[in-house]
């Protein structure tokens, strides 16, 4: 059954750019709101809400459609009842490519000894360190969706050995093997985490991935580097610090955090073995957001049984 969408609320940092791009959509009414201008009355007379997250304190159940401008939807789902029948979709685009390049940049930086050479240059010290190759590096990617698969493709092409971890452990051609989360956490024999060089998290935030990387997880590691481009709430920061101190994790590259911006008094800032970026590994551009928004809207109004980017409320992605 087709769904007619006439009035759309748009909220977030891309408002000004989206207003310019969407100005040609004459048959739709787009209302651009901020925290100060959003009202319940406006929500109640609208068909759809578009934003990176929902604004707490409002009811959204009367909406026909909610569209998330980012790939992650945890900032939307947590404000909706579990039995919500509102259609929820998310932005899809070149996120896998962007995140693969982000991960590759930090991996090469490490393998080519960039931090060490920067320190040597500051001391005017001439000391040879032989660069290591990406080929032969052992990588485990948590998340085998579109983003995780693209990361695996790029790293495998350059010679790395890449295994995956997913909720159910379904095998995938882009990985040499795929483990389930339970396989990794509950193995009575040697953990697959004990023989990898890199751990990359691309998983969405769900009940299964919240605090996934905690003391029990890190206890199985033997000096891997951690890259988190999934969700900040998946990592127990206190456990990470203990793992770094114990040498279980040799360094961490963190792009996402439970609280953003990361508070200035966070102990994460002070570590030389932690590299922090401000959630930039896969930034949604206004053009990407508009293209996906309009294509999703067209699918909805054509009456597609299921849109290509529809979110499963129960799964959380």
Q: Active-site residue numbers?
A: 231, 260, 279
**How far is it, in rounded angstroms, from Cα 4 to Cα 99?**
35
Q: Do residues 184 and 211 lie in contact, with contact meaning Cβ atoms separated by under 8 Å?
A: no
DSSP 152: H
**How far is it, in rounded angstroms, from Cα 296 to Cα 80?**
21
Query: Left, alpha or beta for 224 (phi > 0: left; psi -120 to 50: alpha)?
Result: beta
Q: Where are the beta strands (DSSP E) in 14-73?
A: 29-33, 48-51, 65-68
How many CA atoms lie less than 13 Å away from 94 in the CB half-sphere? Answer: 9
What are the b/e assignments for 174-187, b being 16+ CB within 10 Å? bbeebbebeebbee
């Amino acid at each position: 059954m087709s769904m007619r969408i006439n009035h759309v609320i748009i909220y977030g940092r891309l408002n000004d750019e989206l207003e310019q791009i969407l100005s040609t959509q004459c048959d739709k009414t787009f209302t651009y709101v901020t925290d100060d201008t959003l009202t319940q009355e406006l929500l109640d007379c609208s068909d759809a809400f578009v934003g990176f997250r929902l604004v707490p304190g409002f009811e959204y159940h009367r909406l026909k459609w909610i569209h998330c401008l980012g790939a992650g939807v945890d900032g939307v789902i947590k404000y909706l009842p579990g039995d919500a029948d509102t259609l929820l979709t998310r932005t899809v685009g070149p996120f896998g490519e962007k995140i693969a390049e982000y991960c590759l940049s930090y991996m090469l930086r490490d393998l080519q000894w960039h931090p060490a050479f920067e320190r040597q240059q500051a001391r005017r010290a001439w000391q040879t360190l032989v660069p290591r190759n990406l080929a032969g590096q052992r990588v485990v990617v948590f998340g085998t969706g579109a983003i995780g698969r693209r990361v695996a493709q790029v790293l495998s092409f350059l010679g790395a050995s890449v295994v995956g971890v997913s909720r159910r452990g379904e095998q995938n051609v882009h990985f040499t093997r795929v483990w389930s989360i339970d396989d990794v956490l509950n193995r009575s024999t040697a953990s697959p985490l004990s023989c990898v060089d890199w751990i990359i998290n691309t998983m969405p935030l769900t009940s299964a991935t919240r605090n996934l990387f905690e003391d029990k997880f890190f206890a199985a590691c033997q000096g891997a580097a951690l890259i988190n481009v999934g969700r900040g709430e998946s990592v127990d920061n206190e456990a990470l610090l203990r793992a770094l101190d114990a040498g279980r994790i040799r360094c961490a590259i963190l792009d996402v955090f439970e609280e953003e911006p990361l508070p200035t008094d966070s102990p994460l800032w002070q570590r030389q073995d932690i590299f922090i970026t401000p959630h930039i590994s896969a930034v949604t551009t206004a053009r990407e957001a508009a293209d996906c928004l309009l294509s999703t809207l067209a699918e909805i109004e054509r009456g597609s049984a299921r849109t290509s980017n529809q979110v499963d409320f129960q799964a959380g992605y």
